[in-house]
Amino acid sequence: MAMHSPYDTVTNSYVAVRPQYPDQWFSKLSALTSRHALAWDAGTGNGQAAITVAEHYERVVATDISEPMLKQGIPHPRVQYLHTPSSLSEEETVAMLGGENSVDLITVATAIHWFDIPKFYSIAKRVLCKPGGVIAVWTYNDLIRVNPEVEQVSRRLREICRPYWKPGVQYLFEEYRNLPFPFESVGLGCEGQPVELEMPREMSFETFLSWQRTFSAVATAKQNGVDLLTDDVVREFETAWGGSDLVRTVNFKVFMLAGTVKA
Ligand SMILES: C[S@@+](CC[C@H](N)C(=O)[O-])C[C@H]1O[C@@H](n2cnc3c(N)ncnc32)[C@H](O)[C@@H]1O
């Protein structure tokens, strides 16, 4: 089977270990849109953001380039999972989403840095309701903020991963400060100035390691027969973590930008 997404081979662990976004973010975003008929969660993965968006919108279309990922989509009566291969044209994608001026909220959680961004924004501007529609993009990055020692090993892992990162990862490393975002601010970040949010999560050492195995670079290397999480790296993490039996609080930092189509 041809690979379409580095996440194709890590779908099971992805669902189990990736952190959930706080509900309050979605309440805040939903309060910014004037209607609540249709939302689009792009790069939905297992749909964890889509099902929370569905608490606020009548219908959610959740799309992804990866069919294996979509098969893990959490079922929800108001969420429709749709496959959007890169071969899908702009016209076809707009039609699939319900046409021009049809979407009240677009969310892209930890995914836009992998997209063909100009094509995506062109579609987003067409399908967003004007006025009143809002687009919100956010990400957390790969650095583990537990203590300075763990952060140092995760910076080292970032370097070890370098040959396998795809170009868009630079936006994530730069915490979305250089991500193009040609939309009018709605008070939640603007181009060049994402808002920084916190997402604390309890993690066992085992979950922490499994989470790192879902990194796109680690998964891509694995698909090429290379294990970047070598015994040495794991040992370094274990020492920095303070022992494999400890459950620790990991503080994910999240960078968010939200906006409307410029008049
Ligand atoms: C890090 S995961 C995030 C998944 C989910 N939004 C979350 O926050 O848990 C990135 C997702 O983007 C998808 N993806 C990558 N490139 C894409 C593209 N060009 N179009 C749509 N989805 C894409 C991947 O298959 C993967 O499911």
Output the domain CATH number for residue 89.
3.40.50.150
Please tell me the pTM assigned to this model: 0.94
Spatial separation of the C-alpha atoms in residues 226 and 144, rounded to whole Å: 22
Q: Which residues pair with 60 in a beta bridge?
A: 39, 79
What is the arithmetic mean of pLDDT over 18-24?
87
pLDDT of residue 15: 66
| Atom 8, ligand 1: residue with shortest CA distance | 109
Considering the domain boundaries, does residue 218 fall inside one? no
Decide if 71 is inside a domain. Answer: yes
Query: What are the tokens at 140?
Result: 């957390």
> Tell me: the pLDDT tens digits for 156-186?
999 999 999 999 999 999 999 999 999 999 9
Question: Does the beta carbon of 19 lie inside 6 Å of ligand 1?
Answer: no
Residue 256: inside a domain? yes
Residue 7 near ligand 1, beta carbon < 6 Å: yes
Residue 224 alpha carbon to ligand 1 centre in Å: 20
Q: Is there a domain that residue 240 lies in?
A: no
DSSP 177: T
User: Has residue 247 got a pLDDT over 70?
Assistant: yes
Domain presence at residue 158 = no
Rounded Cα–Cα distance for residues 123 and 116 (Å): 11
Q: How confident is the model at residue 1 (pLDDT cuts 50, 70, 90)?
A: very low
**Residue at 94 is within a domain:** yes
Ligand 1 test: best mutation among 7, 15, 81, 117, most atoms within 8 Å of CB? 7
Distance 245 CA to ligand 1 centre (A): 32
pLDDT of residue 20: 85
pLDDT at position 4: 65
Distance of alpha carbon 157 from alpha carbon 151, whole angstroms:
10
In a domain, 57, yes or no: yes
3-state secondary structure at position 260? strand
Residue to substitute in 65, 84, 92, 119 for testing ligand 1 pocket (most ligand atoms within 8 angstroms of CB):
65
Do the strands 247-260 and 134-140 form a parallel or antiparallel pair, or are they unpaired? antiparallel
Closest-CA residue, ligand 1 atom 18, reads 115
Does the beta carbon of 48 sit less than 6 angstroms from any atom of ligand 1?
yes
Q: Is residue 242 part of a domain?
A: no
**φ and ψ of 13, to 5 deg:** -70, -30
The CA 43 to ligand 1 mean position distance, Å, reads: 4
> What pLDDT is stored for residue 141 in this prediction?
86
Total of domains in the chain: 1
Give 144: exposed, middle or buried? Use CB within 10 Å, 0-12, 13-18, 19+: buried
- Asked whether 44 lines ligand 1 (CB < 6 A), one says yes
**For residue 90, what are the domain limits?**
6-141+167-200+252-260
- Computed over every residue of the chain, the mean pLDDT equals 93
Cα separation, 194 vs 157, in Å, equals 25
